[in-house]
Structure 1
Amino acid sequence: MAKYLISFPSVAMNVPDSEMETVGRDAREVIRETKKAGVYVFGGGIDETVAPVLVSANGAVAEGGYSWAPPLNGGFTVLELPSREDAITWAARIAKACRCDQELRVFGFDPES
């Protein structure tokens, strides 16, 4: 079985404040279903209130991430599934709950990590 990364950037989630409680409830319900199905690996979101730092091989620390890359933010879930079709099905359920499209990628999991 492969691990799949299902994610979205923060700007994709354009939901009125009045609906956020419902979106949160619906998203948590889908995650509970992934856990019940035994396919959940981990998930969460980037804490955007904490600025990233760039740490070099020599230990030097600089404020901010890579200047040339788009910001990394939003939410993600990693599921272990038997097929891409199964991953698409779960991604669609997450998209419906979150009210925004989800990107789907095969997650390059290192078994020694």
Structure 2
Amino acid sequence: MPKYLISFPSAAMQVPDHKLAEVGRDAHAVIEEAKAAGVYVFAGGIDEDVLPFLVAADGTVTSGGYTWAPTLNGGFTVLELATHDEAIAWAARIAKACRCQQELRVFGLDA
């Protein structure tokens, strides 16, 4: 069954501070529904206080991410779903809970 990435960058979530607890509660409720439905793989957010590192094939480590790429941040949910329509429905539920649009992508199989 395909796995779908539902995500948003941090800047997309324009929520007043006094609403953050409500948004967190709503988002966690959707995740709990996904777990109960048996479609949850994992979810979380990038810790923006921890800098990324680039690791080369020879093991050389460089502080910072790709300089030419946009910063990777925000929230991510991975769900295993039977159809693209189901993925759209779950993305809409997450968008409503997070108060921002979600980007939907499907993972290619690694086999």
TM-score between the two structures when normalised by the length of structure 1: 0.95
CA distance in 2, matches of 1:29, 1:20: 14
Correspondences of 1:85-100 after superposition (within 5 Å):
85-100=85-100
Which deviations, in whole Å up to 9, do the C-alpha atoms of 1:17-50 show, x marking residues without a partner? 0000000000000000000000001111100000
CA distance in 2, matches of 1:51, 1:109: 29
How many residue pairs were aligned?
Answer: 111
Cα-Cα RMSD: 0.9
Identity of aligned residues (%): 70
Q: Which residue of 1 aligns with 2:39?
A: 39
* Counterpart residue type for residue 32 of structure 2: R
Q: Which residue of 1 aligns with 2:77?
A: 77
Moved over 2 A (4+): 108-111
TM-score between the two structures when normalised by the length of structure 2: 0.96
Query: What runs of 5+ residues in structure 2 fail to find an aligned partner?
Result: none
